[in-house]
């Protein structure tokens, strides 16, 4: 995806794409409870990230969020409205 395409992508779609990409990047699909993710060897649902994060301890959550922090900045590229109050990664 080019920079221009990313800028023109709606915020909600970018949010979902980043969630799926973070899961794939950290290879979370190996331990995912959803069999679809394990069979496809990739995240099939962007909400896997949030389900996984809820199951972690507070210290582990902070570590995962720190690792995903540079990727979360991609969300705000080209975003002028619709992003207020949305949870970041």
Q: Would you kindly state where each structural domain of the chain is located, as residue ranges?
A: 17-75
Per-residue pLDDT tens over the stretch 1-39: 888 888 888 888 888 888 888 888 877 777 777 788 778
Nearest to 13 by CA among 73, 75, 70: 75
- 59-68 contact pairs (CB < 8 A, 24+): 64/26, 65/89, 67/26, 68/22
The answer to whether the pTM exceeds 0.75 is no
59 pLDDT above the threshold of 80: yes
């Amino acid at each position: 995806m080019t920079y221009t395409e990313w800028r023109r992508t709606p915020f909600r779609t970018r949010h979902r794409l980043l969630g799926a990409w973070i899961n794939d990047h950290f290879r979370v699909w190996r331990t995912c409870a959803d069999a679809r993710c394990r069979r496809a060897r990739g995240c099939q649902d962007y909400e896997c990230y949030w389900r996984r994060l809820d199951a972690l301890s507070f210290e582990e959550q902070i570590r995962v969020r720190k690792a995903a922090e540079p990727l979360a900045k991609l969300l705000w590229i080209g975003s002028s409205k619709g992003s207020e109050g949305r949870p970041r990664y």
